Amino acid sequence: MGRDLRDLWAHRELLLTLTKREIVTRYKQTFFGLGWSLFQPILQTIVYTIAFSLVLKTPSAEGIPYAIFVFANLTLWTYFASTTINSMNSLRANTALITKVAFPREIIPMSTILSGLFDFVVSLAVLVILNFFFGFYPNVKFIYIPAILIVEILFILDLALILSVLTVVRRDLTYVVTFLITLYMFLTPVFFPIQALPPKLQEFYFINPMGAIIDAFKNVIFYNYEPRWYSLLIAFAILVALFVPSYKFFKRAEKYFADVL
């Protein structure tokens, strides 16, 4: 595994090149271009705010208007959901490259994960601007955002290494995973505050990776608090432990990609 990681590091320039290509290609053929990365979270926030706040009367977190509460959560969730789906389909989308060029194949799903950060940064910038209108300002705790992102990226990477391999064999797996991610969204505090749950269920959500990530992000962005380190570190430790078998699984399977694709 150490040799594989050194080989990956040696190809870091290729990783950056593919990441840039992914960002450019994603918006090149669209009418609004890069504007889609801005419009999508705003439109989602409007729809979910109407559905959950106005219709279902879902409470917001204490002191936070529901619209920006949801927007903040969707900033993280959209990155997770869209990047997981895109990365699991990335090997099939790059068949020509895989069958003609020798390089560490994990670079492909990794480039998809990194390119998704562009949309996240755009949404984060919009969130910061919106927060000004509601009295929430950037604070020193923003320095913890990269740490929160590392945990989320590791979660996506663990999933991508396994799902991208399985999708090479079963293309229809994408539909199953899309459904499961949607179900997972409603089991994670995206549209409601954790405090709305009974205390015992709250403990469960703190060991749920996306629950811990979203809670940490909320504390930093709105409350000027540090993340709940115990829940974030538990999630990180679990995800690091899962990375090893996920990476080994991917490396064992990659020699068959050229034959199957």
Please indicate whether residue 88 or residue 33 has the higher confidence score (pLDDT). 88
CA dist 67 → 55, 190, 214 (Å): 14, 12, 15
pLDDT of residue 97: 86
61 burial class (0-12, 13-18, 19+ CB within 10 angstroms)? buried
Are the CB atoms for 173 and 167 separated by under 8 Å? yes
The closest alpha carbon to 187, from 148, 156, 225, 214, belongs to: 214
pLDDT at 49 over 80: no
Q: What is the DSSP string of the chain?
A: -HHHHHHHHHTHHHHHHHHHHHHHHHHHTSSSGGGHHHHHHHHHHHHHIIIIIIIS-PPPSTTS-HHHHHHHHHHHHHHHHHHHHHHHTHHHHTHHHHHH--S-TTHHHHHHHHHHHHHHHHHHHHHHHHHHHTT----GGGGGHHHHHHHHHHHHHHHHHHHHHHHHH-TTHHHHHHHHHHHHHHTTTTSS-GGGS-HHHHHHHHHSHHHHHHHHHHHHHHH-----HHHHHHHHHHHHHHHHHHHHHHHHHGGGHHHH-
Tens digits of residue pLDDT in 6-20: 888 888 898 999 999
Average pLDDT, the chain: 85
pLDDT of residue 142: 94
**Segment 180-185 mean pLDDT:** 92
pLDDT of residue 143: 95
Residue 233 CA from chain centroid, whole number: 17
pTM assigned to the model: 0.90
* Structure tokens, 46: 């409007």
Q: Where are the chain's structural domains?
A: 2-260
| Residue 232 identity | L
pLDDT at 260 over 80: no
Tens digits of residue pLDDT in 75-124: 999 999 999 999 999 988 888 888 888 888 999 999 999 999 998 998 89
pLDDT of residue 239: 95
pLDDT of residue 94: 85
